[in-house]
Structure 1
Amino acid sequence: MGDSEARPAVRWAKGTHVLKRATAGLSAAFAAQRLQLAAKAAVAAGVAFMIAPLMPGAAAHYAYYAPLGALVAMYHNVAGSVRQGLQALAGLAVGIGLAVLLVNIADPSPLTVAVFMGIGVLLGGLPGIGSGSDWIPTAALLVLLVGGSNADDFSFGYLVQMGAGVAVGIAVNFLLFPPLHLNAAAASLDDLRRALGKQLTDMGTALKEEWPPEHEEWSRRSDELSSAARSVRHLVKEADASRRANPRRRFHPRDLDHDYRNLRELERVTFHIQDMTDILSDVIWVSGVPYAVPVQDSGPLADAMTATGELLHSYLDGDEQMQRQRYDAAQAAVEACLAATAGRQAVQGTVPASESILLSLHRILRALRPAS
């Protein structure tokens, strides 16, 4: 009876989870950045198809490849559009050359097509070809199957129309609100600081609670912090890439070198906080570990962690004087903890984990030291 009653609840939970994932997926699909990219792709495809009949000679008969070229070049930053478009054209040129070579030396057959497709895939590994690697066997196959006896005209038209489409795609991305991702990078750095500061203050709170602590969410955040740091690095790199060849960058100046320095510092802080998280989790919940936090160290360690967490939070306000005050307070708390634990004898068979935690806190402070 109990099992039959539980099944609808399980199915409801699964259904709710699927619905949440679907909603999140739809939200991502229709995000403002995606909608802007879709609108620009539509404009580029329309313009490319409009000018396609104006291409010289036989190329005018293959107008449908111009919109394809525009879509190939559409990317979420201008530099990426240029790179992706040129790589696609390079791949097309190699693939067309491969197909022409096959037509001139042998009749297409299952064996020759298989051999040349294999060669096309191998050529996709050429340095610098990038995303154009997929176009080498695709272009060769299209020339063989669609071009047929008219392979020369088809090859010319295919390459010219794709080139025109790529040029239109790059131009549209350059002229119509070329995207800058600077705000996302700045916000992600602040979010990571906030998460790291919260982790430290939560661990400080846990050290002052009766063990095992009532609150244990912090003990499961190690992987989340690592994932957050990777996400921030990705967003900062995206912001850097979005500035290249972007005419809007002069109206939105930002020191990305400073962001990269902050990122490297926060990555080091993340590493040390993860180490502290693992140590404290083991000390509290894992039996038989060869290290422990002496009871008398809990208070000074908690104060040092909390002060360091508050230091991280102070960077969100942008007040340099406040940052300096919080840094001095955190440094004083760490030094007080060092003095309190100095020379303390370990319990037989264990190593004081306090020393490792203090070393991590010291390195965190070194990474966060305000500029003189």
Structure 2
Amino acid sequence: MLMRSTASTDPLLGSRLHIAIKAALAAALAWQIGNLLPSPMGDYAYYAPMGAVLAVHPSVAGSLRGSLQLFVALLVGAAVGATFHLLPLPGWAGIGLLVLIAVILAGWDRLGAERSWVITAALFTYILGNLDTSDFVLGLVGQVSLGAVVGLALTLLLPPIPARVARRRLDAVSTEVAEQLEGMAVVLRGQTDDPASAWLEVAREVLPDALRLRESYSDLDDALRGNLRAGRWRELVGRRRSEADVIERVAALVENLTYMLGEVQESPRPWLRIGGDAAQTVADVLDELASVVRRLVGDEPLQARDTEPLVQGVERLSALVRETVGLGEESFPGAAVVVSLRRILGVLPMPESDAIAPPITPLRDPSWPPRVGRRRRR
């Protein structure tokens, strides 16, 4: 049984216009300021807009980090190019050795996404700086750095907070998970003409979109660092991030449940008879779970009354499975479904109760969820 994947979306959708306007303004200002500088630096003003555009970033922290990495990469590359000017090598040998060393130096992790500028600066300096290497290095590094400062300043003054982007992705993933659960319920009730084909339509890879959801909130965390407007957003972002963590875990468990149910139903001895009492019970539980998933990302926190029908449904299904224990291996798929549902209950923010069996709390550690782009210090 194949799991079909859903299409991805642009992570900057919604803030793209903001970034484009800011980049255009930064480039224009950098060009104007760069032309006002005296010679020889002023002769290379065409590099200033490039630095401005490269420094414009969705977050202040990202803009500062990128600007510093760009500056260091340019210095390293320019130093390599200038050094090779002093070596008595034929052109082909100089280019080859220069690229070899520049590529090795560009492997420095601290340079991040700007590592390619080591090679670019080295080649520019070696090839274009034939007449006056020192003037070219000063113009290249100086103008690009000037542009980066302009881009950083505009990012600091006009920082975006892509909260709408993250919220739209949260809503989209929760809707996708809920629709998958509802689709399974429809198939189990026998409301489709061809159950085998219907399972293929229901099954999809939800986890990739859930991981992109995590990236959205990691980007949002990054956008709040150094942001002058961060104070009024922290509480809301913290709550939405918690919801996103839950949706991500639920999405992974639901994807696994979908895959398992589809395989079981396609086997020669299916556990559930489509449209039977057991299938109806499972379908009811899946519908209740879909309802809880939709409420989870609503404006109001999840209440006990929202989850009570789901908990009761899982208990009914557990009792049904216990009655089939004497059937041996035929009861295993039912037990697996109950375990999967209890794992999902363990993820949901639900009040504890002595009236039901405790859910299975998933493994957690202080580093969960892992944040994209962060490195552990050793």
Which interval holds the TM-score relative to the shorter structure?
0.7 to 0.9
Whether 2:45 is the aligned partner of 1:63: answer: yes
Aligned equivalent of 1:225: 206
What's the offset of the Cα at 1:300? 2.2
Mark the CA change 1:212 to 1:276 in structure 2 (over 3 Å): closer, same or farther.
Answer: farther
Give the alignment partner of residue 183 of structure 2, picking from 202, 212, 215: 202
Aligned equivalent of 2:141: 159
Aligned equivalent of 1:283: 264
Larger-Rg structure: 1
Mark the CA change 1:283 to 1:30 in structure 2 (over 3 Å): closer, same or farther.
Answer: closer
Aligned equivalent of 1:327: 307
Q: Kindly report the root-mean-square deviation, in angstroms, between the aligned alpha carbons of the 2 structures.
A: 2.9
Q: Deviations over 1:156-195 (max 9, x none)?
A: 12111111111011112222x3211112212322332222
Aligned equivalent of 1:33: 15
Q: Which has the higher contact order (CA 8 A, sep 6+)?
A: 2
3-state SS, counterpart of residue 131 of structure 2: helix
Aligned equivalent of 1:265: 246
Taking structure 1 as the reference length, what is the TM-score of the superposition? 0.83
Number of equivalent positions = 344
Give the alignment partner of residue 160 of structure 2, picking from 179, 183, 189: 179
Mark the CA change 1:29 to 1:266 in structure 2 (over 3 Å): closer, same or farther.
Answer: closer
Aligned equivalent of 2:68: 86
Aligned equivalent of 2:335: 355
Mark the CA change 1:182 to 1:54 in structure 2 (over 3 Å): closer, same or farther.
Answer: same
Aligned equivalent of 1:318: 299
Mark the CA change 1:42 to 1:314 in structure 2 (over 3 Å): closer, same or farther.
Answer: closer
Query: Structure 2 CA distance, aligned partners of 1:222 and 1:80?
Result: 37
Q: Bigger CA drift: 330-339 or 350-359?
A: 350-359
Whether 2:287 is the aligned partner of 1:306: answer: yes
Conserved in 1, the CA contact under 8 Å of 2:169 and 2:213? Answer: yes
Conserved in 1, the CA contact under 8 Å of 2:186 and 2:192? Answer: no
Tell me which amino acid in the other structure corresponds to 1:193.
Answer: S
Query: Structure 1 CA distance, aligned partners of 2:24 and 2:169?
Result: 30
Query: Structure 2 CA distance, aligned partners of 1:251 and 1:343?
Result: 54
Conserved in 2, the CA contact under 8 Å of 1:55 and 1:161? Answer: no
What's the offset of the Cα at 1:92? 0.6
3-state SS, counterpart of residue 128 of structure 1: helix
Tell me which amino acid in the other structure corresponds to 1:65.
Answer: Y
Aligned equivalent of 1:143: 125
Mark the CA change 1:318 to 1:51 in structure 2 (over 3 Å): closer, same or farther.
Answer: closer
What's the offset of the Cα at 1:248? 2.1
Conserved in 2, the CA contact under 8 Å of 1:297 and 1:354? Answer: no
What's the offset of the Cα at 1:352? 3.7
Query: Structure 2 CA distance, aligned partners of 1:337 and 1:77?
Result: 48
Q: Deviations over 1:26-51 (max 9, x none)?
A: xx799653232222222111111111
3-state SS, counterpart of residue 287 of structure 2: helix
Conserved in 1, the CA contact under 8 Å of 2:183 and 2:202? Answer: no
Whether 2:272 is the aligned partner of 1:293: answer: yes
Q: Bigger CA drift: 303-312 or 341-350?
A: 341-350
Query: Structure 1 CA distance, aligned partners of 2:303 and 2:197?
Result: 29
Aligned equivalent of 1:3: none
Aligned equivalent of 1:340: 320
Whether 2:22 is the aligned partner of 1:43: answer: no
Query: Structure 2 CA distance, aligned partners of 1:259 and 1:338?
Result: 32
Residue ranges of structure 2 left out of the alignment (5+ in a row): 1-6, 353-378
Query: Structure 2 CA distance, aligned partners of 1:361 and 1:29?
Result: 31
Tell me which amino acid in the other structure corresponds to 1:323.
Answer: Q
Query: Structure 2 CA distance, aligned partners of 1:208 and 1:269?
Result: 23
Q: Bigger CA drift: 256-265 or 40-49?
A: 256-265
Query: Structure 2 CA distance, aligned partners of 1:160 and 1:108?
Result: 29
What's the offset of the Cα at 1:105? 3.0
Structure 1 vs Structure 2: percent identity of aligned residues? Answer: 26
Query: Structure 2 CA distance, aligned partners of 1:208 and 1:346?
Result: 25
Taking structure 2 as the reference length, what is the TM-score of the superposition? 0.81
Residue ranges of structure 1 left out of the alignment (5+ in a row): 1-20
Q: Deviations over 1:131-168 (max 9, x none)?
A: 22111111111111111031011111211111111101
Q: Bigger CA drift: 311-320 or 325-334?
A: 311-320
Tell me which amino acid in the other structure corresponds to 2:284.
Answer: D
Mark the CA change 1:282 to 1:273 in structure 2 (over 3 Å): closer, same or farther.
Answer: same
Mark the CA change 1:271 to 1:34 in structure 2 (over 3 Å): closer, same or farther.
Answer: closer
Query: Structure 2 CA distance, aligned partners of 1:368 and 1:252?
Result: 24
Conserved in 1, the CA contact under 8 Å of 2:34 and 2:45? Answer: yes
Conserved in 2, the CA contact under 8 Å of 1:305 and 1:361? Answer: no
